[in-house]
């Protein structure tokens, strides 16, 4: 007689399945770190776990399903890490919270360069975060940490949005506004948010991928300057460190 989720047998099978899923993701992450994104395959994970490839298909039916799950778990980890850094400062000081979250993003990326690369360099097409992809919502949970703090700074009325932006261009930013739970943020201000994210990501990525080695042995001060400049753009002229 098949077990149901509410029975002790059903609960045990559910627990065993969850433990197996967690081990698969841990193994996939280890392969990512040790051998690079191309090494994260169902066959390689099955071999590492002493399973048959068909046995692994009971958990992930395709490579895309596996990579989406790994990508989602990394975004969730990163979101939790940034939220913890944010919450070490008072909610009444969103500038300090945002500065802390930015610095925590850099710290996590430098400590986890392969994971950062999977999320943000997109070396695998299956790691996409397009609408409809399993990793779409987790990516926005991460992005929402930074975006909500930017919105809080906007509420203070100090952001000076650019003028003369072509409406046909700014309409591309509508999807961002859809994630703001009804906040009436002008598209010109969302443009400021996106440009600040581009600068933050660029400052982190150029260091993580080693493209500042030709000039700097310690890019930390340059990153701090970038964060201060971003906060000034968002109307926070005297950010706490």
The string of DSSP letters for 198-225 reads HHHHHHHHHHHTTTTTTT-S--HHHHHH
Confidence of residue 4 (pLDDT cuts 50, 70, 90): low
Name the band, by pLDDT with cuts 50, 70 and 90, for residue 6: low
- In the chain, CATH 1.10.357.10 sits at 71-233
Q: Is the separation of the CB atoms in 234 and 150 below 8 Å? A: yes
For the domain spanning 71-233, the CATH number is 1.10.357.10
Ramachandran sector of residue 187 (left: φ over 0; alpha: ψ -120 to 50; beta: rest):
alpha
Residue 225 clears pLDDT 90, i.e. is over it: yes
The architecture that CATH gives domain 1-61 is Orthogonal Bundle (1.10)
Rounded to whole angstroms, the Cα distance separating 199 from 192 reads: 11
Closest C-alpha among 128, 237, 127, 150 to residue 200: 150
Find the mean pLDDT for residues 192-196: 96
The pLDDT, as a whole number, for residue 1 is 45
Q: What is the mean pLDDT of the chain?
A: 92
Task: List, in sequence order, every beta strand (DSSP E) within 117-189.
Answer: none
Give buried/exposed letters for 173-186 (b at 16+ CB in 10 A, else e).
Answer: beebbeebeeeebe
- Average pLDDT in the 34-58 region? 93
> Is residue 121 exposed (0-12), middle (13-18) or buried (19+ Cβ within 10 Å)?
middle
Please report, for residues 39, 125, 132, 219, the alpha-carbon distance to residue 65 in angstroms, rounded to integers and kept in the order given: 15, 12, 13, 37
The reported pLDDT for the residue numbered 5 is 60
Taking residues 171-193, report their average pLDDT.
89
Distance CA 46, CA 1 (A): 30
C-alpha distance from residue 187 to each of 25, 39, 130 (Å): 38, 41, 21
Across residues 167-196, what is the average pLDDT? Answer: 89
- Is the pLDDT score of 96 beyond 90? yes
In the chain, CATH 1.10.10 sits at: 1-61
User: Is the pLDDT reported for residue 9 higher than 60?
Assistant: yes
Residue 239 banded pLDDT, cuts 50, 70, 90: very low
- Residue indicated by tokens 């002493």: 50
> How remote is the C-alpha of 205 from its chain's centroid?
13
């Amino acid at each position: 007689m098949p077990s149901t989720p509410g029975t002790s047998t059903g609960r045990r099978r559910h627990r065993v399945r969850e433990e197996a899923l967690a081990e698969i993701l841990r193994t996939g992450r280890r392969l990512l770190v040790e051998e690079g994104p191309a090494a994260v395959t169902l066959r390689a994970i099955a071999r590492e776990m002493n399973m048959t490839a068909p046995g692994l298909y009971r958990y992930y039916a395709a490579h895309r399903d596996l990579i989406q799950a790994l990508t989602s778990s990394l975004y969730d980890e990163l979101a939790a890490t940034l939220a913890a850094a944010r919450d070490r400062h008072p909610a009444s000081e969103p500038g300090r919270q945002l500065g802390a979250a930015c610095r925590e993003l850099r710290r996590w990326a430098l400590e986890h360069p392969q994971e950062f690369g999977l999320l943000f360099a997109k070396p695998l097409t299956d790691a996409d975060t397009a609408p409809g992809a399993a990793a779409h919502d987790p990516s926005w949970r991460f992005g929402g940490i930074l975006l909500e703090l930017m919105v809080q700074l906007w509420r203070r009325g100090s952001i000076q949005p650019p003028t003369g932006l072509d409406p046909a261009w700014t309409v591309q930013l509508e999807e961002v506004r859809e994630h703001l739970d009804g906040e009436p943020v002008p598209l010109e201000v969302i443009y400021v948010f996106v440009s600040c994210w581009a600068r933050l990501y660029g400052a982190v990525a150029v260091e993580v991928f080693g493209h500042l080695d030709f000039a700097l042995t310690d890019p930390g001060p340059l990153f701090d300057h970038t964060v201060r400049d971003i906060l000034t753009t968002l109307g926070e002229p005297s950010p706490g460190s």
